[in-house]
Amino acid sequence: MDNVDLSVLREALAWRQSGHGVVLGTIVRTWGSAPRPIGSLVAVRDDGRIAGSVSGGCIEDDLIAKVREKTMQLGHPERVKYGITAEEANRFGLPCGGTLELVLEPIAEISQLEQLVAGLSGGRRIERILDMATGAVTLAEPGAADTLALDEHTLRTVHGPRWRLLVIGAGQMTEYLASMALALDYDVTVCDPREEYALGWKVAGTHLSRDMPDDTVLAMHCDRHTAVVALTHDPKLDDLALMEALKAPCFYVGAIGSRANQQKRRERLLEFDVTAAELDRLHGPVGIKNGARTPPEIAVSILAELTAARYGFRIPEPVPI
């Protein structure tokens, strides 16, 4: 399954290659409660077809109308604001008076869309540098900063997988977790040295590692955009991954298992030079407490907790009924 950026860009490229005119829109700034985050993309075809989203639908409707009425004739990239007044916020469906700013650009040969899509399809992360005066695009390797940047001369955006998920164990639950994580723009690696599990792995778009879990964690150079989830129930595998992941700056480290098993795991990890402070970062039992029982339900609960961790949101403990 494609990440969101790649889906929109592929659609825009296909339209362009079939002879259609295409305008690409990128959210570059928001104020208040804008419905979509900075960097979200929308592509509008010359007959009103649309891919992607920058709002709940009302702004897309306005863009479609302008395309069909031939009032959006762009020769170069332009900045457009929506929802500045209360009347406009109501008209365009922006909640709480939210405002957003788009850069709209006509797609042409100088847009380098084909090269960008080819690189993203190969799993690369790519910085796209748009010249606001001419529409010419330069593609480069992204630097340390991975956020959108706009000034009067250029728009810089970073495309490709920004978040990584390493799952230990290639069992049934991992199939659901990996499939759903791909839809949430994770670059997913599954590690399982056990032949009987690894040979049956079949989720397209993921990477499979047959190395030992601790070696895989070290080889991935886990950073603050990496999550590690251990799902084998086998201490010989899960603990190896957790030992290294808890020492790395991962934004999330979790392991499946009952509360009793989690306590035993903590005692084991303390014997392997994992500090009490590092253990405090361990999420276990993994996932939010929502009554999940089946593998797909548990996968949903895990990804919900990862989403909260990504955005720095603390999920309150459920109140016993």
User: Does the residue 253 lie in any domain?
Assistant: yes
Is residue 142 domain-shared with residue 212, that is, in the same domain? Answer: no
- 125, 159, 193 — which closes off a domain? 159
Structural domain for 57, as ranges = 4-159
Is residue 176 domain-shared with residue 138, that is, in the same domain? Answer: no
Stretch 165-180: mean pLDDT: 96
The vertex-186 CA angle with 185 and 187, nearest 5°, equals: 120
User: Does the residue 296 lie in any domain?
Assistant: yes
CATH number at residue 223: 3.40.50.720
Stretch 219-242: mean pLDDT: 93
User: Does the residue 137 lie in any domain?
Assistant: yes
User: Does the residue 200 lie in any domain?
Assistant: yes
User: Does the residue 320 lie in any domain?
Assistant: no
Is residue 213 domain-shared with residue 195, that is, in the same domain? Answer: yes
pLDDT tens, position by position, 187-202: 899 999 999 999 999 9
The reported pLDDT for the residue numbered 2 is 47
Q: Is the pLDDT of residue 159 over 80?
A: yes
Is residue 154 domain-shared with residue 262, that is, in the same domain? Answer: no
Is residue 100 domain-shared with residue 45, that is, in the same domain? Answer: yes
Q: Is the pLDDT of residue 20 over 70?
A: yes
Is residue 109 domain-shared with residue 225, that is, in the same domain? Answer: no
What is the separation, in whole angstroms, between the first and last Cα of the chain? 39
What does DSSP assign to residue 85? S
Taking alpha carbons only, the member of 170, 219, 164 closest to residue 191 is 170
The reported pLDDT for the residue numbered 265 is 92
Q: How confident is the model at residue 314 (pLDDT cuts 50, 70, 90)?
A: confident
What sign has the CA pseudo-torsion 314, 316, 290, 239?
positive
Is residue 9 domain-shared with residue 149, that is, in the same domain? Answer: yes
Q: How confident is the model at residue 170 (pLDDT cuts 50, 70, 90)?
A: very high
Q: How confident is the model at residue 142 (pLDDT cuts 50, 70, 90)?
A: confident
Is residue 234 domain-shared with residue 281, that is, in the same domain? Answer: yes
Stretch 235-253: mean pLDDT: 95
Report which of residues 53 and 143 the model is more confident about: 53
Count other Cβ atoms within 10 Å, centred on residue 240. Answer: 22
The reported pLDDT for the residue numbered 1 is 36
Is residue 167 domain-shared with residue 293, that is, in the same domain? Answer: yes
- Determine the 3-state secondary structure of 191 from DSSP: strand
User: Does the residue 81 lie in any domain?
Assistant: yes
The reported pLDDT for the residue numbered 98 is 67
CB contact burial 188-218 (16+ within 10 A = b; e otherwise): bbbbbbeeebeeebebeebebbeeebbebbe
**Structural domain total, the chain:** 2
Is residue 79 domain-shared with residue 208, that is, in the same domain? Answer: no
Stretch 125-150: mean pLDDT: 88
How far apart, in whole angstroms, are the C-alpha atoms of residue 320 and residue 283? 20
The reported pLDDT for the residue numbered 33 is 60
Q: What is the pTM of this model?
A: 0.63
Stretch 153-171: mean pLDDT: 91
User: Does the residue 317 lie in any domain?
Assistant: no
Lowest mean pLDDT among 25-34, 107-116, 306-315: 25-34
Is residue 135 domain-shared with residue 268, that is, in the same domain? Answer: no
Which structure tokens are listed for 102?
């788009």
Q: Is the pLDDT of residue 185 over 70?
A: yes
pLDDT tens, position by position, 259-289: 899 999 999 999 988 999 999 999 988 999 8
What sign has the CA pseudo-torsion 146, 147, 151, 157?
positive
- Determine the 3-state secondary structure of 50 from DSSP: strand
User: Does the residue 316 lie in any domain?
Assistant: no
How far apart, in whole angstroms, are the C-alpha atoms of residue 144 and residue 71? 40
Report which of residues 74 and 77 the model is more confident about: 77
- 159, 191, 224 — which closes off a domain? 159
How far apart, in Å, are the Cα atoms of 166 and each of 20, 26, 70, 225, 317?
A: 40, 30, 48, 11, 26
Is residue 59 domain-shared with residue 93, that is, in the same domain? Answer: yes
- 159, 182, 214 — which closes off a domain? 159
CB-based contact 5:124 (threshold 8 Å):
no
